Amino acid sequence: MVKKKSKSKRQTLKDKYKIQHRVVETHRKRKKQAKRDAKAGIVRHDKKKKDPGIPNSWPFKEDLLNQISRSREREEEKKRLAKEQRRDGIQKLREHKAAGGTARTLEELMARAGRSREEFAAKGGGVEGDASGNRTENKPSLGQSSRRAYMRILREVVDSSDVILQVLDARDPAGTRVGRAVEEAILSRHDKRMVLVLNKIDLVPKDAVAGWLAHLRRSHPTLAMKAGTNQSRSAEVGRTKGESALKSSSGVGVEGLLSLLKNYARSSGEGSGKSKSCITVGIIGYPNVGKSSILNTLKRSRAVGVSPRPGFTTSLQEVVLDKSVRLVDSPGVVFDDSSDTKRGGDTSLGGHSLLRNCVDADAVDDPIPAVRGLLERCTVESLVMTYEIPAFPSGDVMTFLALVARRSGRKLKGGIPDKVGAARTVLRDWNAGKIKFYTSPPDAGMDDDEGGASAGGVDATIVSSFGEAFDVSKMKEMDRDALEGLPEDGMDFVEMKAPSAEEGANDGRSSREAARYLKGEVDDDDEMDEDSVGEGAGTAPAKKGAKSSNDAVADAEDYDFDDL
């Protein structure tokens, strides 16, 4: 069939001029009408329809609004970080020019720094200096490297440090403490000292902090502290006391830690007759326990970057505190075994790692093991009061998730409760601090006689570890100042049960391998990579024949909420 010819766009001059005349006439009438409306005070709105937004009848409106809010917060965080990087870059460029450098722009300076890093890495180097004088190690990012890289950084921190500060989360000191094998490997060298720093004490009740201090001081000197966010270099930083200090941005317990480090710097080397002019203090611990925040608090400035996101610190960083103390910050390392299971084999250690905020909750494929571990260590009454849900059988994770899903309006097609989404919500709330919790110390029920005996043991431990120059009475006074203002009543918190074998809570296979590596017994790094996984691994690979959480959700019975 012959294709029909398209209509020509040609037109007569009569039609052309008619259209032009109509356009001009229309514009003239609109201008005339606008002048009349302006004199009469009439405002004519645009006839375009406005976006009505999200309908209130849509069942997932709240979730979508939360998602939009989180996206907006992430964009603002990116802009803030980019702004800080530009400001730091401009400062480095100024310092470079003041030192006689020839770079004219920031891009030229960064290009030169990149070439220097490549040349240094090609020569086999691992540590380089930046323009601010701090030391940064050229290491791959966490999550992409193997455990071998993390152990190499940790061993370098231990080798170069005279004092090791192990930072613990006051909400779960047992879960955020490295294994006993790793501690023994560090202390196997006669010139090493270890101090435990109980951070975030403002988030737990007073009795829990006091109990954990008494328990931890049986093995190592322990100090209570709250890292501050105040970047002022005033001499009053860290000297505020009471409830006002806990609610402010100032640090609490800073003076005690500073005096301890200064005291050790003065007394180091007295026994051998060789006094050190400067000591190096290494800061280690699990991700997101506040290592970088403590360093900034001691420095009284933003010396290193901090973020609530786990694994933000990706390299070794050295900061000069003063002429006698140097601080070394390190990335967090998880010592849990992802291949082992306990408590019947249905809860992996990776799930317990998620409860310590070692991994981003949004990046977890299967959050149900973490919630199962939460139910194992929390009472039903505390979770019922927190989420305002009916009582459920103890340990029944599927019923708990179904109730939470119903409470938050999370439903799938057909009105089925979204248990996976509810588990992710619980994990996100837990790691974000929306749920106040604390872990009771193992010896919370100790009587007065035992408490008095332990107090003497605490004093003996500190004196024998740090010499007679350390004033134990002053330490007790600082404890009273640090604990002043903490909440007395623990009813507003979710109480978690401490593990039965707290001292060996993290003494798994990975911890023993790390201890051997720190002692130098493992020379071949490949041996550590055969069965180990990188930091931040969420869960273990499923065993053959084991039922996954998705299968468990699919096989779970539908609950009659009216009977609960």
Contact between 333 and 356 (Cβ < 8 Å): no
Give the pLDDT of residue 16.
Answer: 94
Share of the chain above pLDDT 70, in %: 66
Give the pLDDT of residue 445.
Answer: 52
Determine the average pLDDT of the residues in 534-559: 48
- Whether the per-residue pLDDT at 281 is higher than 80: the answer is yes
Helix (H, G, I), strand (E, B) or coil at 273: coil
Determine the average pLDDT of the residues in 272-298: 79
Half-sphere exposure of 475 (CA within 13 A, CB side): 20
Is the pLDDT higher at 111 or at 222?
Answer: 222
Determine the average pLDDT of the residues in 240-251: 59
User: Which pLDDT tens digit goes with each residue over 48-72?
Assistant: 777 778 888 888 888 888 888 888 8
118-122, 204-208, 241-245: least confident range = 241-245
Give the pLDDT of residue 344.
Answer: 40
Contact between 252 and 245 (Cβ < 8 Å): yes
Tokens of 146: 């193997």
51-55, 154-158, 408-412, 496-500: least confident range = 496-500
Give the pLDDT of residue 385.
Answer: 85
Is the pLDDT higher at 315 or at 406?
Answer: 406
Is the pLDDT higher at 172 or at 21?
Answer: 21
Is the pLDDT higher at 513 or at 133?
Answer: 513
Cβ-based neighbours of 535, under 8 Å, separated by 6 or more: 142, 143, 147, 150, 287, 311, 331, 332, 333, 334, 358
- Whether the per-residue pLDDT at 112 is higher than 80: the answer is no
Give the pLDDT of residue 22.
Answer: 96
Output the average pLDDT for the chain. 73
223-227, 397-401, 547-551: least confident range = 547-551
Give the pLDDT of residue 26.
Answer: 96
Q: How far is CA 180 from the centre of its chain?
A: 23
Helix (H, G, I), strand (E, B) or coil at 133: coil
Give the pLDDT of residue 471.
Answer: 64
34-48, 132-146, 405-419: least confident range = 132-146
Contact between 496 and 212 (Cβ < 8 Å): no
- Whether the per-residue pLDDT at 253 is higher than 70: the answer is yes
Tokens of 291: 């290592």
Identify the band that residue 403 occupies on the pLDDT scale cut at 50, 70 and 90.
Answer: very high
Cβ-based neighbours of 552, under 8 Å, separated by 6 or more: 368, 398
Sign of CA dihedral 178, 181, 184, 186: negative
User: Which pLDDT tens digit goes with each residue over 18-34?
Assistant: 999 999 999 999 999 99
- Whether the per-residue pLDDT at 418 is higher than 60: the answer is yes
Domains and CATH numbers, the chain: 341-439+552-563 (1.10.1580.10)
Identify the band that residue 180 occupies on the pLDDT scale cut at 50, 70 and 90.
Answer: confident
**Which range is most confident: 94-98, 167-171, 474-478?**
167-171
53-57, 119-123, 386-390: least confident range = 119-123
Element (H, E) at 329: strand 325-329
Rounded to whole angstroms, the Cα distance separating 292 from 332 reads 10
Determine the average pLDDT of the residues in 396-419: 87
Share of the chain above pLDDT 90, in %: 6
Give the pLDDT of residue 35.
Answer: 93
176-190, 378-392, 464-478: least confident range = 464-478
Is the pLDDT higher at 41 or at 126?
Answer: 41
Rounded to whole angstroms, the Cα distance separating 138 from 187 reads 27
155-169, 256-270, 397-411, 485-499: least confident range = 485-499
Give the pLDDT of residue 23.
Answer: 96
Identify the band that residue 451 occupies on the pLDDT scale cut at 50, 70 and 90.
Answer: very low
Cβ-based neighbours of 285, under 8 Å, separated by 6 or more: 166, 167, 168, 176, 178, 291, 332
- Whether the per-residue pLDDT at 456 is higher than 80: the answer is no
- Whether the per-residue pLDDT at 482 is higher than 70: the answer is yes
Eight-state DSSP code of residue 411: B
User: Which pLDDT tens digit goes with each residue over 313-357?
Assistant: 767 788 888 888 888 888 777 766 543 434 344 444 455 667 777
